[in-house]
């Protein structure tokens, strides 16, 4: 027997047991799937009886008090949800459901912004639901602009410029958006996620000129992107804001010398970072803080007071140690 064919006996079983027992019970009786039983019951217009079916007393109470009290008060009295009360009132004809019509302003706003805004953003601006916006767009037969495909020439230029120019510069050159450039670059296997590595000559140039040039100037000199120089300086441990740092005399070392490291270890808990910076003539407080953290010195250098050392720690007597707390 074909599963798409239902005998008169099976139809009678669906009509008799589906409203009370549900699709799972009928499916076991007929040897079919519950979804198939649901589809057949829907075609026969046989509905499953709800457990929370409204009684005659509840309907009478609703008809009496719906126009006198709020739906929330009625729902609290009947131990139901407010949505269930409103839905039942619509079924009984106590309240008519009117879909809010779209006015000219809303339609013009939708036509103007549906390509550059999401459905959720438009719905929030017009105080409507997302499905309502989506349905209105479908009814007006409006379609979003299709994505422009990447041409072979654009792909070649992307492979050529990626890593040497910023994504914003590439996007301006190719007349595309920055996310489009980043996404297509990630899709291409030949393009790496990061710019090519720096040579030793380039690293020495950065170390020598970091405190005398900004990151953008270094990037232009090395024909690199600004972010690649920024990441390199972070990996090398160079601190300070490269855009605001002051010019330092030539030969100023970006790393701490042995004498400076010794000075930081000896005075970190008795001086603030600002005092250490002033004493060592360093440009950044962050460099002192990071080095202190690296060697295991803790505490907030800006707010700390002179800490308690082992010499001035409170001394407990032998009797205090042997005190019985029972």
Cα gap 123→118, rounded to integer Å: 9
Here the tokens at position 198 are 């720096």
Q: For the residues of 88-143, what is the DSSP string, one character each?
A: HHHHTTSS---PPPP-HHHHHHHHHHTTTS-HHHHHHHHT--HHHHHHHHHHTT--
Assess whether 110 and 128 both reside in one domain: yes
Residue 177 domain-assigned? Answer: yes
Assess whether 132 and 152 both reside in one domain: no
State pLDDT tens for residues 110-165: 988 888 888 888 988 888 888 889 888 888 888 766 677 888 888 888 888 887 78
Residue 273 domain-assigned? Answer: yes
pLDDT of residue 61: 93
Here the tokens at position 77 are 């009295």
pLDDT of residue 298: 61
Assess whether 200 and 232 both reside in one domain: yes
Assess whether 244 and 205 both reside in one domain: yes
Residue 316 domain-assigned? Answer: no
pLDDT of residue 221: 86
pLDDT of residue 1: 38
Q: Whole-structure pTM over 0.85, yes or no?
A: no
Roughly how many angstroms between the first and final C-alpha of the chain, as a whole number? Answer: 84
Residue 317 domain-assigned? Answer: no
**Torsions phi, psi for 222 (to 5 deg):** -95, 0
Going by the DSSP 8-state scheme, the letter that residue 303 receives in this structure is T
Q: Among 146, 147, 148, 144, which Cα is nearest to 114's?
A: 144
For the chain, residues with pLDDT lower than 50 are 1-3, 190-194, 242-253, 301-326
Assess whether 184 and 202 both reside in one domain: no
Residue 318 domain-assigned? Answer: no
pLDDT of residue 60: 92
Residue 244 domain-assigned? Answer: yes
Cα gap 104→100, rounded to integer Å: 13
Residue 161 and residue 171 in contact, taking contact as beta carbons nearer than 8 Å = no
Question: Which range of residues forms the domain containing residue 61?
Answer: 56-91
Residue 238 domain-assigned? Answer: yes
Total domains in the chain come to 6
Residue 153 domain-assigned? Answer: yes
Assess whether 225 and 175 both reside in one domain: no
């Amino acid at each position: 027997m074909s599963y798409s064919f239902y005998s008169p006996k099976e139809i009678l079983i669906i009509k008799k047991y589906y409203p009370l027992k549900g699709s799972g019970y009928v499916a076991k009786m007929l040897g079919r799937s519950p979804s198939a039983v649901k589809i057949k019951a829907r075609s026969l217009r046989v509905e499953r009886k709800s457990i929370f079916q409204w009684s005659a007393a509840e309907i009478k109470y609703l008809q009496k008090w719906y126009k006198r009290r709020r739906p929330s008060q009625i729902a609290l009295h009947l131990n139901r949800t407010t949505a269930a009360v409103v839905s039942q009132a619509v079924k009984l004809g106590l309240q008519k459901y009117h879909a809010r019509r779209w006015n000219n302003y809303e339609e013009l706003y939708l036509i103007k912004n549906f390509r550059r805004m999401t459905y959720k953003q438009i719905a929030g601006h017009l105080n409507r639901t997302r499905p309502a916006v989506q349905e209105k767009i479908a009814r007006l037969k409006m379609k979003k602009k299709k994505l422009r495909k990447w041409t072979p020439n654009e792909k070649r230029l992307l492979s050529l410029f990626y890593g040497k120019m910023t994504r914003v510069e590439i996007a301006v050159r190719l007349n595309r958006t920055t996310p489009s450039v980043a996404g297509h670059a990630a899709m291409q296997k030949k393009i790496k996620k990061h710019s090519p590595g720096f040579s030793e000559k380039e690293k020495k140039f950065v170390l020598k000129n970091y405190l005398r040039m900004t990151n953008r100037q270094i990037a232009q000199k090395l024909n690199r992107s600004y972010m690649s120089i920024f990441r390199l300086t972070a990996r090398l441990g160079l601190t300070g804001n490269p855009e605001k740092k002051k010019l330092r005399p030539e030969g100023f070392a970006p790393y701490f010398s042995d004498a400076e490291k010794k000075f930081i270890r000896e005075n970190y808990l008795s001086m603030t970072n600002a005092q250490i910076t002033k004493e060592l003539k360093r440009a950044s407080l962050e460099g002192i803080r990071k080095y202190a953290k690296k060697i295991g010195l803790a505490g907030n250098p800006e707010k700390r007071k002179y800490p308690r050392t082992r010499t001035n720690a409170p001394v407990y007597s032998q009797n205090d140690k042997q005190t019985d707390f029972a």
